[in-house]
Chains A and B, each alone.
Chain A
Amino acid sequence: MLSFASLIARNSLRSRRRSVLTIVSIAVSFCMMGVLMAMYSLFFLDEPAPDQALRLIVRNRISFANPLPVSYVDKIKSLPGVREVMIQQWFGGTYKDAHEPLNNFARFAVEPAKLFRLHPEYSIAAWQLRNFLKRPDSCIIGRALAERLGMKLGNRVTLLGDIFPARLDLVVAGIYESAIDNEVLYFHNQYLKESLHKDPDYAIMLMVMVTDADSVTAVGRRIDGLFHNSPVQTKTETEKAFRLNFLSYVGNIKMFLFLVCASLAGTVLLVATNSITISVRERAQEVGIMKALGFSPDTVLCLIAGEAMLMGGLGGLLGLCGAQVLMAAMRNLPVVMVSLTTLSLSPGVMAAELLLACACGMVAAVPAAWQASRRPITECLAQAD
């Protein structure tokens, strides 16, 4: 058995250039596939972070464009299982030049006193928080956003509204730290009201914190049930589902990821088949000699398939390493609705990908290996090149 393994290894070193080319091209495809699989599991499989699991977002059932009456805050607060309810007003608007993608970050008008109760994962220096609570025209921003825009404490931020006809001049009073979601700007909802010179008695969305993670679904249903017969019905989702919903506007993400992975696997299959077919044809005489020495057709088949599996596996391994590097870079990307900070591949998914890589190699080898193993010795030996 050991001798077969070394034979396979030596065979694959025979034409180094071809092996390297094949392995690298397989690696590139599997690198891409690894990143896409990580995105898939982040979006659809991963459990939300513990604090995130306690939060629900309530919005108008009809669409994001339709608001909710603020009177709902107290009504929801009185429901069992609800710890806190906060108005979270999506301000929209533009900061500097909207054509620069970096300037399009999320900004919310909130109730500052409640913000940190709803986000226990946020941390901020006590004096910064005091300043934020004290000064009505102040705002706080996430660490990553501060770095991205080069903002410091005391800087001025001007936001020009579209949904709300207001021009807001804000002062950065604090910078909060958080593992996820550190690219948001929060300011006082009270300040927004004053800038509008009237009280908007509606809110784009409400954020609800439940008492324990197990009752999340039940509380969500209770909220929607409460307003089922009112003129403005609600739609309550977990924070994670809400964000995915946002993302789904881009298109059918699941389908897209699946199609791309399938075409990448297809490319790998074709590239590997091409390479194996060439190398088997080159070795016709060798196969003839091996058979003459007494190797059975099945052994020949296994040797060739083994070589292809080795190349596939090496390509897959290299691709996974590349994916890790790429993901490390992607974790620092600006947040577009869904934070990529926890983007990673679980050992299970990595094993599955390696297995897929080996399988691709093996499947690619089957036609050429089968043909070679069943060919009569004389024909093999007689082949000119």
Chain B
Amino acid sequence: MLSIPISYNLRNLQVRKITTLMTSLAASLSVLVLVAVLALVAGLRSSFEVSASPKHLILMRNGSTSELVSVLTRENFQDVLSRRGIANDANGQPLASLEIVTVVSVSLPAGTEMNVTLRGMSATGWKMRQPQLTLTAGRMFQAGGRELVVGQSIAAKCPGAHLGGQLQFGDGVWTVVGIMNGGQSAFNSEIFADLNQVSAEYHRANQLSSVLIESASPDLEPLTRSLREDRRLNLQVESEHDYYAGQMSAAIPVQFMGTIVAIVMALGGAFACMNTMYTAIARRSSEIGVLRVLGFSRASVLLCFLLESVLISLLGGAIGCLLALPLSRFETAIGSYITWSQLSFRFRVTPEIILVGLLFAAAMGAVGGFLPARSAARRPLLAALRAR
């Protein structure tokens, strides 16, 4: 089949600049919304992915959906420590951290409050997250004091959480002694403090939350199995990676609503394409006749006009993606019913998302362009030529 050169379409679009641009813009908004929603989900996912270390396992009480609702005792921790397969540090101490997780509310400037995860841990817990977490200011908290190390997202948002600042929860006032940078991880939205101090303040001396352990071998399976099989411990054993993947459900409501809105808007975009193409075809009736006389088949004509519609919407898609690119600089926060706290993260516009946006735009153009293109292809040759 002889196909009509694409330059024919490009020239046509160029001649009708304003109409082309108008139609593209109508298509671009829905692509913008779609890309924004996907970038939000991707940002959240990557925040969880970098939070997890491949050799870490999280232990909670069986049946717990999150560290927040899990209860473990110090006896549980001692039992876990004696397991074979846990990595040791340079001093021969096992890399295992007993932690207590609770939620505190900190004040924001607007008079509102934000829920934040407070994690009590020992020095080992900090060491285990080492390559990822760095102190950007101040020092570590000391055991036995009301001292805090806060994530940088919290430090940026909450007026009281600057170095030397004071926050009130538990039984008293805590001093911020350090600010930590967790890269893109979820720890930017957490507050760390001394395990024994937190458990004492919350009257939970022996009701702690979870244990983080590092496996000696890269294969987590043997250690996981040996812990799970011990009925006496009654533990839920998950790799850190799986644990955070389970929290992606926080993004479901936004993803669901956003996708529906993008589709509704795409319907508008497709209608705009349809309008434009019907007009273009009516105007170029005699051109279509000439093309047919020259020997181009009905199928080529159909393809040609379909392509033109797709080109218009692709231009719109490109505009939408361009408008969405600056999103990567912005931070947003999402809450979850699992952790009961807010998690800050950056939008992430990845090449894959751009591709999805462009494909979405192309589909919009194809849907909008199909009926007009078919009517052009079906037009009887003589009638097409005779039209003004």
A: residues with CB less than 8 A from B are 17-18, 21-22, 24-26, 28-29, 31-32, 61-66, 92, 94, 98, 160-163, 165, 231, 248-251, 256, 260, 263-264, 266-268, 270-271, 273-275, 277-278, 282, 385
Given contacts A28-B268, A263-B261, 6 further A-B contacts (CB under 8 A): A32-B260, A61-B105, A66-B202, A251-B253, A256-B254, A282-B279
Q: Which of A64, A98, A266, A275 contacts B340 (CB 8 A)?
A: A64
Instruction: Judge whether A274 and B22 touch: CB under 8 Å.
Output: yes
Q: Which of B30, B61, B63, B115 contacts A267 (CB 8 A)?
A: B30
Given contact pairs A22-B271, A64-B340, A275-B275, A29 touches B265 in the complex (Cβ within 8 A): yes
Which of B132-140, B216-224, B329-337, B347-355 forms part of the interface with chain A?
B329-337
Instruction: Judge whether A25 and B261 touch: CB under 8 Å.
Output: no
Given contact pairs A18-B275, A21-B274, A274-B275, A98 touches B115 in the complex (Cβ within 8 A): no
Q: How far is the CA of A24 from the CA of B337 in the complex (A)?
A: 39
Instruction: Judge whether B268 and A267 touch: CB under 8 Å.
Output: yes
Closest to B254 in A: A251
Q: Could you list some 17 contacts between A and B, CB below 8 A? A: A17-B278, A25-B272, A31-B264, A32-B261, A63-B102, A63-B105, A65-B102, A165-B63, A231-B171, A249-B342, A251-B332, A251-B335, A270-B25, A274-B272, A274-B276, A278-B275, A278-B279
Closest 10 CB pairs between A and B? Answer: A249-B335, A25-B271, A270-B26, A63-B103, A274-B22, A267-B268, A25-B268, A162-B69, A65-B103, A278-B279
How far is the CB of A367 from the nearest CB of chain B, in Å? 9
Q: Which of B61, B267, B332 contacts A165 (CB 8 A)?
A: B61
Q: How far is the CA of A231 from the CA of B169 in the complex (A)?
A: 10
Instruction: Judge whether B29 and A270 touch: CB under 8 Å.
Output: yes
How far is the CB of A346 from the nearest CB of chain B, in Å? 23
Q: How far is the CA of A16 from the CA of B19 in the complex (A)?
A: 20
- B307 interfacial contact with A, CB 8 Å: no
Q: How far is the CA of A274 from the CA of B22 in the complex (A)?
A: 6
Chain A residues contacting B22 (CB-CB under 8 Å) are 270, 273-274, 277
Q: How far is the CA of A18 from the CA of B103 in the complex (A)?
A: 57
- B2 interfacial contact with A, CB 8 Å: no
Taking each of B103, B265, B278, B333, which has the highest tally of chain A beta carbons within 10 Å of its own beta carbon? B265
How far is the CB of B280 from the nearest CB of chain A, in Å? 9
Closest to B22 in A: A274
Chain B residues contacting A263 (CB-CB under 8 Å) are 29, 32-33, 261, 265
How far is the CB of A326 from the nearest CB of chain B, in Å? 11
Please, how many residues of chain B have a CB less than 8 angstroms from a CB on the other chain?
Answer: 53
Chain B residues contacting A64 (CB-CB under 8 Å) are 103, 340
Instruction: Judge whether B336 and A249 touch: CB under 8 Å.
Output: yes
Instruction: Judge whether A98 and B65 touch: CB under 8 Å.
Output: yes
How far is the CB of A76 from the nearest CB of chain B, in Å? 21
Instruction: Judge whether A65 and B271 touch: CB under 8 Å.
Output: no
Instruction: Judge whether A161 and B63 touch: CB under 8 Å.
Output: yes
Chain A residues contacting B102 (CB-CB under 8 Å) are 62-63, 65-66
Main secondary structure of the interface of A (DSSP, over half): helix
- B71 interfacial contact with A, CB 8 Å: yes
Instruction: Judge whether B261 and A264 touch: CB under 8 Å.
Output: yes
Instruction: Judge whether B61 and A249 touch: CB under 8 Å.
Output: no
- B212 interfacial contact with A, CB 8 Å: no
B223-267 vs A: 1/0 string, CB under 8 Å? 000000000000000000000000000000110010011001101
- B53 interfacial contact with A, CB 8 Å: no
Instruction: Judge whether A267 and B265 touch: CB under 8 Å.
Output: yes
Taking each of B30, B33, B271, B333, which has the highest tally of chain A beta carbons within 10 Å of its own beta carbon? B271
Q: How far is the CA of A98 from the CA of B69 in the complex (A)?
A: 15
Chain B residues contacting A231 (CB-CB under 8 Å) are 171
Instruction: Judge whether A274 and B69 touch: CB under 8 Å.
Output: no
Instruction: Judge whether A28 and B267 touch: CB under 8 Å.
Output: yes
Chain A residues contacting B388 (CB-CB under 8 Å) are 385
How far is the CB of B286 from the nearest CB of chain A, in Å? 11
Taking each of B25, B279, B336, which has the highest tally of chain A beta carbons within 10 Å of its own beta carbon? B279
Instruction: Judge whether B268 and A29 touch: CB under 8 Å.
Output: yes
Chain B residues contacting A31 (CB-CB under 8 Å) are 264
Q: How far is the CA of A17 from the CA of B267 in the complex (A)?
A: 16
Given contact pairs A271-B26, A278-B275, A249 touches B264 in the complex (Cβ within 8 A): no
Instruction: Judge whether B261 and A278 touch: CB under 8 Å.
Output: no
- B68 interfacial contact with A, CB 8 Å: yes
Given contact pairs A274-B23, A278-B19, A264 touches B105 in the complex (Cβ within 8 A): no
- B13 interfacial contact with A, CB 8 Å: no
Q: How far is the CA of A251 from the CA of B18 in the complex (A)?
A: 39
- B289 interfacial contact with A, CB 8 Å: no
How far is the CB of A272 from the nearest CB of chain B, in Å? 9
How far is the CB of B318 from the nearest CB of chain A, in Å? 16
Q: How far is the CA of A260 from the CA of B256 in the complex (A)?
A: 13
How far is the CB of A187 from the nearest CB of chain B, in Å? 19
Chain B residues contacting A18 (CB-CB under 8 Å) are 275, 278-279
Instruction: Judge whether B171 and A267 touch: CB under 8 Å.
Output: no
Q: Which of B254, B275, B336 contacts A21 (CB 8 A)?
A: B275
Chain A residues contacting B71 (CB-CB under 8 Å) are 165
